[in-house]
Chains A and B, each alone.
Chain A
């Protein structure tokens, strides 16, 4: 009986998370503002409101061993998520989903989209592991970055993206799969939470963002 209560309790927490996630609400609100007013000035204003992920200043290392910051993606549309290389189930699906999404874009559209994936397991996902993964997945490495950073930064990025994770005793991770779309100023404008979700809303959002004149 007590166990049932626990389940009910957990369910309530989950429900709360889904319906009243302030980050999602914020993104929706932000999106609404953009949709109504449209112009490039609005996007700039939103960035000044302190919602840009490019406020995260830490350095990462990519699959080519190069030091990068999130900020270096400024001006591009970016799909961000987190993974670990030896993940047996969800991560391959996450990669597949991202590739599927990309394939639905035209060549010209695709060129303007970056994919930035950060490892949850920096202790084992070395530069060479990341490079191997990029090769194995046969992705366009001019646009796809697989990156690692230290544990504290991983936690901060995960918190910003709303990704929960837990390292298990066998080296695997439990983690939520969330794809986040950043606009050109680094503000999260759309999310796909869970791998069972359709890619279309994200796709639509990418096209909306691409239709906006870029800010130099």
Chain B
């Protein structure tokens, strides 16, 4: 079992760089607002449904407008955060909120060291830490639906999840071994929302990461696990051929909130008014 887990881990967790640097984002400056884009929200059918009855037609989730960071939070961003918030420095952060992986790759509590670059995405941060960071910026972690809504877009389609070549591209990323060194943020193609690195760089925390429970199907693990869950019937998966999305849900549902993975980072989101005057209006 452990062996097969490791194989899946190697195939699934270790994302690789998308080597397309031609539309690389130039160094971004300024505060939260200039990092974020306004997303109009809309209807979204997640791969994992909300129906209590697997036979019932799934309804779409309706998302309100929100803002999302164009880039994952970087080591440099996170370093300034811990300078201002000593409670979250490596060594200070309470064990209730972080595990021993927390910022373990950094040289010190206030220094990245020679092997870690400021423009790489920060990883080895727990859900609690990611949440505290976003809160300090006046934001929050994206909800799983929000993250998936934006991540469904390719650079050509607002919802590319049914596009076989797009799917293949993502699955190829999942299958590639982990690069020895994580690439910098913003080196890939932006999607139609002008958001970078949702695929192909690191996995990302979402606010409700633990909300997917793969169950309720006759082919699931069955037995005693069923006793763990409430509700008359469990969630059935929607578009069953969207393997790439499904993998992300499965991965996220395997996480524990204190966990700090080597390829697990985050970006922030924020509630947004219905219209954003002066902000980049990007959307369908």
- List, in ascending order, chain A residues with CB within 8 A of B208's CB: 155, 166
B230 touches A15 (CB 8 A): no
Q: How many residues of B contact A (CB 8 A)?
A: 55
The verdict on A196 contacting chain B, using a C-beta distance below 8 Å, is: yes
Q: Which of B230-260 contact A (CB under 8 A)?
A: 230-232, 234-235, 237, 240-241, 243, 246-247, 250-251, 253-254, 256-259
Q: Which of A2-41 contact B (CB under 8 A)?
A: 2-17, 19, 21-23, 26
B230 touches A160 (CB 8 A): no
The verdict on A176 contacting chain B, using a C-beta distance below 8 Å, is: yes
Contact of B235 among A21, A90, A174 (CB under 8 A): A174
Contact of A175 among B12, B231, B237, B247 (CB under 8 A): B231
* A159-B250 CB under 8 A given contacts A164-B211, A166-B211: no
Q: How large is the interface on A (under 10, 10 to 19, 20 to 34, 35 or more residues)?
A: 35 or more
- List, in ascending order, chain A residues with CB within 8 A of B231's CB: 87-90, 168, 172-175
A16 touches B211 (CB 8 A): no
Could you say which of B12, B51, B235, B254 has the most chain A C-beta atoms within 10 Å of its C-beta? B254
A50-58, A100-108, A129-137, A204-212 - interface stretch: A50-58
The verdict on A169 contacting chain B, using a C-beta distance below 8 Å, is: yes
Binary per-residue interface labels of chain A (193-213) against chain B in the complex, 1 for a CB within 8 Å, 0 otherwise: 111110000000000000000
| Number of A-B residue pairs at CB separation under 8 A | 158
B277 → A minimal CB distance (Å):
28
A10 touches B220 (CB 8 A): yes
Cα of A40 to Cα of B241 in the assembled complex, Å: 56
Q: Which of B89-103 contact A (CB under 8 A)?
A: 93-97, 99
- List, in ascending order, chain B residues with CB within 8 A of A159's CB: 127-128, 210, 257
Cα of A91 to Cα of B230 in the assembled complex, Å: 7
- List, in ascending order, chain A residues with CB within 8 A of B207's CB: 155
Interface of B is mostly: loop
The verdict on B180 contacting chain A, using a C-beta distance below 8 Å, is: no
Binary per-residue interface labels of chain A (102-146) against chain B in the complex, 1 for a CB within 8 Å, 0 otherwise: 000000000000000000000000000000000000000000000
Binary per-residue interface labels of chain A (71-100) against chain B in the complex, 1 for a CB within 8 Å, 0 otherwise: 000000000000010011111000000000
A172 touches B232 (CB 8 A): yes
Contact of B52 among A11, A19, A172, A178 (CB under 8 A): A172
B14-22, B68-76, B77-85, B221-229 - interface stretch: B221-229
Task: Write the chain A residue with the least CB distance to B3.
Answer: A12
B230 touches A89 (CB 8 A): yes
A194 touches B95 (CB 8 A): no
Interface of A is mostly: helix
B62 → A minimal CB distance (Å):
11
B211 touches A165 (CB 8 A): yes
B218 → A minimal CB distance (Å):
10
Cα of A39 to Cα of B8 in the assembled complex, Å: 44
* A176-B51 CB under 8 A given contacts A7-B219, A168-B231: no
A156 → B minimal CB distance (Å):
8
- List, in ascending order, chain A residues with CB within 8 A of B97's CB: 50, 55
B256 touches A165 (CB 8 A): no
A74 → B minimal CB distance (Å):
15
- Could you show 23 A-B contacts with beta carbons less than 8 Å apart? A6-B250, A8-B4, A9-B8, A12-B4, A13-B253, A14-B225, A21-B256, A22-B258, A51-B94, A51-B95, A53-B96, A91-B230, A158-B210, A159-B128, A163-B210, A165-B210, A166-B212, A168-B52, A172-B52, A172-B230, A174-B215, A174-B234, A177-B229
Q: Which 6 A-B pairs have CB atoms at the shortest separation, nearest pair first? A: A50-B94, A90-B230, A159-B257, A13-B254, A164-B210, A196-B227
